[in-house]
Amino acid sequence: MTSPPPPDRPPFRAPASPAQPGVGGRFGRGAKPPSEGSPPSKKRFGAVVHALGEVDSTQAVARALADDRAPEGTVVTAEHQRAGRGRGGRSWLDRPGEALLCSVVLRPAIDAAEVPQLALLAAVAVAEAVEALTGLAPGIKWPNDLVVEDRKLAGILAEAATDSRAVTRVILGMGINVSQREFPVDLAARATSLALLTGREVDRGALLDGLLTRLEHWYDIYLDHGFKPIHAEWCRRTVTLGRTVVAGGAQGTAVGLDHDGALLVRDAAHRTHRVVAGEVLDAPGG
């Protein structure tokens, strides 16, 4: 496991009283309002945190802030989403106060085709933050679901705006199940939470703090060195490789993660398929 560096700033605290819906402009993670004249934090991620009450989706709020020139690393959190978004057009449901729901504004100089790598990067960061706080070691199910005992603990959504092929901004959304003691019937067999896994309450503020620290760590590595270091760490933490899967129209054994983040699936005829998007399902009888 890669351990996080010691915190060098006061932790972010979730709002004590219900936050107002809408863009509230809270300064979190120890950052001070600029008018106080304090030196700017070295850390970009979470220097500005908009900790909100109820929103449609933190993705939508972060996108509006990004369109209004919010700096890279701006974070939006919410107690509850009325219309949380998941991958593949699915919805992401939560009950107030039970999940860590956050979106981060990124402005990487990458091509549109590379955006999924940021979601893989985020999966590594979420796994590390959870491990540091709880001792659990979530596995990564391709591409970026965090699972424990085959149940989903967290999901990640990377939404990009592009200008031709170049990315102008990415909103990286992460939802982590924290305090749920039960799930709706249709999810109960497939979902889990930190409370269920540890038997105790986990502090969402501390989790956010650890997550932003690891996210910024890997993001800086990504900008400097590309995807290769993240590839290695993702492979170390994945539960997908070696499994018999159905993905992107291919059925076979997941044998590797390609240099760009595509899943490599080898079928019964020993042909290798590159799967660039979609879900991984366990193959029948696999």
Positions in the binding site for ligand BTN (CB under 6 A): 57-59, 81, 84-87, 90, 92, 101-103, 145, 155-157, 173-175
Q: Reduce the DSSP state of residue 216 to 3 states and report it.
A: helix
Task: CB nearer to ligand BTN: give 57 or 180.
Answer: 57
Min CB(98)–ligand BTN separation in Å: 12
**Closest residue by beta carbon to ligand BTN:** 155
Euclidean distance between CA atoms 38 and 56, whole angstroms:
34
Task: CB nearer to ligand BTN: give 103 or 240.
Answer: 103
Q: Is the dihedral of CA 132, 41, 172, 261 positive or negative?
A: negative
Min CB(176)–ligand BTN separation in Å: 8
Min CB(174)–ligand BTN separation in Å: 6
Min CB(193)–ligand BTN separation in Å: 14
| Tokens matching residue 180 | 């749920």
DSSP labels, 158-207: EEEEEETTEEEEEEEEEEEE-S-S---HHHHTTB--HHHHHSS---HHHH
Min CB(137)–ligand BTN separation in Å: 19
Task: CB nearer to ligand BTN: give 46 or 155.
Answer: 155
Euclidean distance between CA atoms 2 and 132, whole angstroms:
9
**Run of H or E including 225:** helix 204-225
Residue with tokens 């106080």: 36
DSSP labels, 28-39: -TTPPPGGG-PP
